Amino acid sequence: MAEIGSEMVLRMADDASVQHVGDGAVVLLARSGQLYTCNDTTEAFLEKVDGARSLDQIIDLLSDEFEVDKATLGQDMAELAAELVAEGILADTGV
């Protein structure tokens, strides 16, 4: 799994989309037709991935939203981002 740096700027993959359903969300990968269900944390993270914010900036926004230690949140979000990149849901903007 690729390591995600705190300054990395991520975007949704071209064929990935997030759909809000009920109290949660799903991610659809058009190329494979796979659906991924999201918990609240993943949904909040994906809402902030816009292709302009760095991982650090997203973590700052999430730390305002969730009552959790920022260092723990940072580590968890870096791991989540790495998983989402590995699944093809997120891509590095290269910025």
In this prediction the pTM is 0.89
Give the list of residues 6+ apart from residue 28 with CB closer than 8 angstroms, or none. 16, 17, 19, 34, 35
Q: Which two tokens stand for residue 26?
A: 């799903």
In this predicted model, what pLDDT tens digit does every residue of 16-36 receive, in sequence order?
999 988 888 999 999 899 999
Kindly give the residue spans of alpha helices, DSSP state H, lying in the chain.
Answer: 40-48, 55-65, 70-86
In this predicted model, what pLDDT tens digit does every residue of 6-18 receive, in sequence order?
899 999 999 999 9
Beta partners for residue 26, in sequence order = 19, 37
Q: Which two tokens stand for residue 34?
A: 């796979």
Q: What is the distance between the alpha carbons of residues 20 and 56, in angstroms, rounded to a whole number?
A: 25
Assign domain 10-89 to a CATH class.
mainly alpha
Query: Domain extents for the chain?
Result: 10-89
